[in-house]
Amino acid sequence: MRIQTYQNVVKWVQNQKLVKEEIVDKEYAHEKGLLHLSAHLLIIDGIGGIFCRKRSDHELRYKGLWTTSVGIHVELDGDYLAFLKQSLPADIAIKWLGEFRVNDGYENEVCGLYFARVEENELPNELKENRMFITANALETLAIEGKITPHLKEAYLLLGAKNE
């Protein structure tokens, strides 16, 4: 996977366009800590549970941690929505929530966040693998225990800030 990376910036400012530097593969971008884009989705059920995905214990980063419902790197000159829709069934309606930044030694990303309100019985089976709805209280406990990715933490904070 080749992703667009950006020149190093001391501080990321929301909605500021970043200057393109080069196109590299995903692992090189992570290894060098290059700033890049990713798109994320939070699926929320009717009682406020968040559909979270558990990362495999074999992943290079964030082994066994819970993360956003869907997350994908944005390649080349793509946009958040186009890349996210490639990972979703066509009938899931999603809405823009905002952007957040993850810069923690594993990732250096500006993340575009969307959300959808979908009940579990409306989700296709292929989307249910390694995922489950987690209540707000359980999610807060997992965060205290260090069992969620910074992506899920920041997405949850943004969701709360937008009162969705």
Residues 107-130 pLDDT 10s: 988 899 999 999 988 888 888 888
Indicate the CATH number for domain 2-161.
3.90.79.10
Helical (H) or strand (E) element with 152: helix 150-161
What integer best gives the mean pLDDT of the chain? 85
- pLDDT of the residue at 92: 86
Report how far residue 97's alpha carbon sits from residue 19's, in angstroms, rounded to the nearest whole number.
23
The conformation of residue 55, written as its DSSP 8-state character, comes to: P
Kindly calculate the radius of gyration of the chain based on its CA atoms and give it in whole angstroms. 15
Helical (H) or strand (E) element with 5: strand 2-6
Q: Give the three-class secondary structure for 75.
A: strand
Instruction: Quote the distance between the C-alpha of residue 68 and its chain's center.
Output: 5
Report how far residue 64's alpha carbon sits from residue 61's, in angstroms, rounded to the nearest whole number.
9
Q: pLDDT category, 17, cuts 50, 70, 90?
A: low
Query: β-pairing, 35-44 with 108-117?
Result: parallel
Backbone angles phi, psi at 163, to 5 degrees: 55, 45
Residue 66's DSSP bridge partners are 54, 148
- Section 11-21 average pLDDT: 52
Q: What is the secondary structure of 89-149 as a DSSP string? A: -TT---EEEEEEEEESSS-EEEEEEEEEE--GGGS-HHHHTTEEEE-HHHHHHHHHTT-B-
Least confident range of 16-20, 65-69, 70-74, 158-162: 16-20
Whether this model's pTM surpasses 0.85: yes
